Amino acid sequence: MPEQPKTIGFIGTGIMGAPMAANLLKAGCRVVVHNRTKSRAQPLLEQGALWADTPAEAAERADFVITCLPNTPDVQQVLLGPDGVCQTARAEFVCIDTSTICPDATRTIAALLGQKGVLFFDAPVSGGQIGAVEGKLSIMLGGPQEHIETVRPILEMLGRTITYCGPVGCGQMTKLANQIMVIHTIVSIAEGLAFAKKAGLNLQTTLSAVLAGAAYSHSLKHLGPKILAGDWKPAFKVDLQIKDLNLILNYAQRIGQPLPATALARELLSILSARGRGQDGTQALFEVIEQMGQ
């Protein structure tokens, strides 16, 4: 196995990024963190992480940089902006982007960084906050196949399954396919539980029964109990899910693939966002479905 890198820069310490960076610390890595709001990184600093004032500083002090950011413009700014990683990254430096962003933008970022000799991998993740905390994420890797072993030791600290999906951008396209399937699962959970409640069933009994059958899923296991408890705290925010669905539908239009049910899911989530609930978890979709029957 290749030698473990001495220092990893980690940029973006939100719901997913913070536990991922924490797992790198637990694995014995020296981690330099940067986040737009420093207070969000404070727990990591207390665990031994070092602070960088800018992404450029994080790259200057690290051998690798991992980004975990909300949207395409955020990744572009952090990697290519005036204080970005590109300002201090050198030849054979490695960037790993675990965000979910536009595949076309991913390819452009890789090409621009490649002009400086920087290796770029898109490595979006699935498994939610629990997967990030437990180090059991599924990682969908795109990038130069001949350099996979350079990044594998790092990714193995973050995830249980690492799947090479193809050249740069293929990780992102695979993640978008994943998000299509996930959102339909969440819609089905919301509709199933709303139906059960309207029909007068005991929701806990219903949940226990369906978890034991063919309807079982990771989402049902973790979001079903939250719905029953009225817990809308996000493992994944409504507004971020809408962002992903916009990426999906824009790319689908470009390649000529209709996704009618995905478009409907976006409209249902948009109702929540319009009600000021964009920061709630996607399980709050249950309330939209339930209220349609009132």
Architecture of the 174-292 domain? Orthogonal Bundle (1.10)
User: How far is it, in rounded angstroms, from Cα 17 to Cα 66?
Assistant: 9
**Residues 187-204: what's their mean pLDDT?**
98
pLDDT band at 6 (very low <50, low <70, confident <90, very high): confident
pLDDT digits (tens, 9 = 90+) for 237-268: 999 999 999 999 999 999 999 999 999 999 99
Contact (CB, 8 A) for 245 and 262: yes
pLDDT digits (tens, 9 = 90+) for 141-190: 999 999 999 999 999 999 999 999 999 999 999 999 999 999 999 999 99
Judged by phi (left if over 0) then psi (alpha if -120 to 50, else beta), residue 127 lies in left
User: How far is it, in rounded angstroms, from Cα 177 to Cα 142?
Assistant: 14
Share of the chain above pLDDT 90, in %: 97
Catalytic residue of the set 175, 226, 237, 243 = 175
User: How far is it, in rounded angstroms, from Cα 99 to Cα 125?
Assistant: 8
Model pLDDT, residue 3: 56
User: How far is it, in rounded angstroms, from Cα 141 to Cα 152?
Assistant: 10
Active site residue 26: no
Helices 203-211 and 170-198 cross at an angle (nearest 10°) of 140
User: How far is it, in rounded angstroms, from Cα 294 to Cα 290?
Assistant: 7
Share of the chain above pLDDT 70, in %: 98
Between 3.30.465.10, 3.40.50.11540, 3.90.230.10, 3.40.50.720, what CATH number should domain 7-167 receive? 3.40.50.720
Structure tokens at 20: 């991922």
Model pLDDT, residue 1: 42
Q: Which residues contact 67 (CB under 8 A, 6 or more apart)?
A: 11, 12, 75, 78, 79, 95, 96, 97, 98, 99
Q: Where are the domains of the chain?
A: 7-167, 174-292
pLDDT digits (tens, 9 = 90+) for 13-32: 999 999 999 999 999 999 99
